[in-house]
Amino acid sequence: MTSGPIGVFDSGIGGLTVARAIVSALPDVDLVYLGDTARLPYGAKSPLTVTRYASRCVGFLAAAGVEAVVVACNTASALALPALREAFPDLPILGVVSPGARAAVTASRTGRIGVIGTEATVRSHSYREAIHALAPTAEVVELPCPLLVPLAEVGWIDHPVTRLTLETYLAPLVRDHAIDALVLGCTHYPVLEGPIAAVLAALVPDRRIALVDSADAVTRELQALGLSLSLGGRRRFAVTDLPDRFRSMAEAFFGGGGIALEVVDL
């Protein structure tokens, strides 16, 4: 039986939240991460374009000999997953939407669930459909938050502009709808989890809203596949553009400096 690394891709730094969860659960497993930073963001692009970009990313990871791919991008998971599985039938490919939906249903006590994501993810209603498949009576409120990806990408985590942007997006959502769980429906958003939690606490101090991140849920699904994976704890990082910005975030996520980073042409 062959063995190889786990492959993870996203349009940028957001998938590092998923990669970190995988490494935390499986510290000895080899991992290849691809950030398609040249084509960021995916969330404002058409389904056809997202599928084309995602196919190139999976092709790169397949050529690297991975045993499975985690599509650590909600937009690509929502729009491209069936096409990717058809194009790479021998490669297990996991998305983040279904695991995130399951985690949301578990986290919600009332069945009133909010979802924030990119324009493309929200327009696809993929989370609403996945949640309703599990809990048909759930009330799902979806909200596109396109400005959050660039704020996360430039590292404006603890910044007044970020807080104001979050307040503008979230105030109508939490005041007009009595949600008790909020899906962070873009893997960039957990980078902003601290500010999101602070803004929610300020907006509705009398209500606890659980923040749902799909990273841990998709990691559990990956473990359940029972794959033969190469061990050694090796990490390979590649991007299609802007290596310096990505390097600083990757080093912050994985601790220490001096990570090896390739720039690849897809």
The DSSP symbol for 186 reads S
Give the torsion sign (CA, 145, 146, 147, 148): positive
Q: What is the CA radius of gyration of the chain?
A: 18
Catalytically annotated residue among 16, 141, 151, 186: 186
Q: Which of the following is catalytic: 73, 93, 115, 212? A: 73
For residue 191, what is the DSSP state? G
The DSSP code sequence of 112-151 is: EEEEEE-HHHHHHTHHHHHHHHH-TT-EEEEEE-TTHHHH
Is 186 assigned a catalytic role?
yes
Quote the tokens at residue 25.
Answer: 């659960």
Distances (CA, A) of 252 to 164, 196, 234, 245: 25, 20, 17, 11
In sequence order, the 6+-apart residues with CB closer than 8 A to the CB of 205 are none
Q: Among all residues, which ones are annotated catalytic?
A: 73, 186
